[in-house]
Amino acid sequence: MKVFACRNSKTFGENVAKYLGTTLGEVTLDVFSDGEMQPMYNNSIRGATVFIIQSTCPPADNLMELLLMIDAAKRASAYKVIAVLPYFGWARQDRKDRPRVSIGAKLVANLLHAAGADRVMTCDLHADQIQGFFDFPVDHIYASTVFIPFIKRMNLDNLAIASPDMGGAKRANIYAKYLHCPVIICHKTRAKANVVDTITAIGDVEGKNIIIVDDMADTAGTLCKAANVLKDLGAKSVRACITHPILSGPAYERIAESQLEELIVSNTLGLSDDPAKDKSKITVVPLEETFAKIMKNVYNYQPISPEMTF
């Protein structure tokens, strides 16, 4: 078993390797003047089961680096190559909802297959059906395995779980089931991509400590608008639990200025290094131990369901 990480997920990979009782394998990445990359494994991986960790958040360089690492591993006679994508980018492009648009999630699945991946491991896909885009096994990890115990330890009274849109109703119901609390659904309309027009709430909001659950926050427009609407409708407090903190554009400013009391995120993506970005409301819940346990079970041909409590 050999564990490697691309540049975008180096810290995540180091922590996963630590939980596995090993260290990251060494890779030399040559970068040409025009940005072209060429990875090289510094030691033999012949006959090894190779895990390559990389979140494919844009820019596309992160995906390209992962594809090149997979290709290099196959050409170095690795026995199996398992792509570990804590965050699977392009997942929002999972269907042809308008004429003449791409299905980016399917394209990325094809690219991983063409590069030589034998298996993919990822967390909280934007839509469960994306697993069907792959022609090889997919291990779908749920961040609820760490979020639900974290929420329970908060001991909030009069708790309610909210979905920021209709598409997240299933996820909200799963959280509510294990936390034994009601569900609130927000219905939104969009003016265009990343721009929310209106949001209305369905459910009893008055006096509730509400936690909004979702798979990702990009510009945080939906999240912050939903939080403000719920607070205006009489919620006692509003928090959010988000798996993938993309947080692009004005996201940090919106979160700081919103009525959100706290934003709980996993570390599938790192937060901004910019000291000017206000992160005072953000709490990070690590996922490396969960990934390490499942990687170990996959390597030993053991079931992963015991690790997926929720």
Active site amino acids: 188
Cα–Cα dist 110/98, whole Å: 21
Residue appearing with tokens 């909280």: 124
User: In terms of Cα–Cα distance, which of 38, 36, 39, 37 is closest to 25?
Assistant: 39
Cα–Cα dist 199/225, whole Å: 7
Q: Would you tell me how many other CB atoms lie within 10 Å of the CB of residue 278?
A: 12
Cα–Cα dist 47/1, whole Å: 9
Cα–Cα dist 123/215, whole Å: 9
Cα–Cα dist 145/308, whole Å: 6
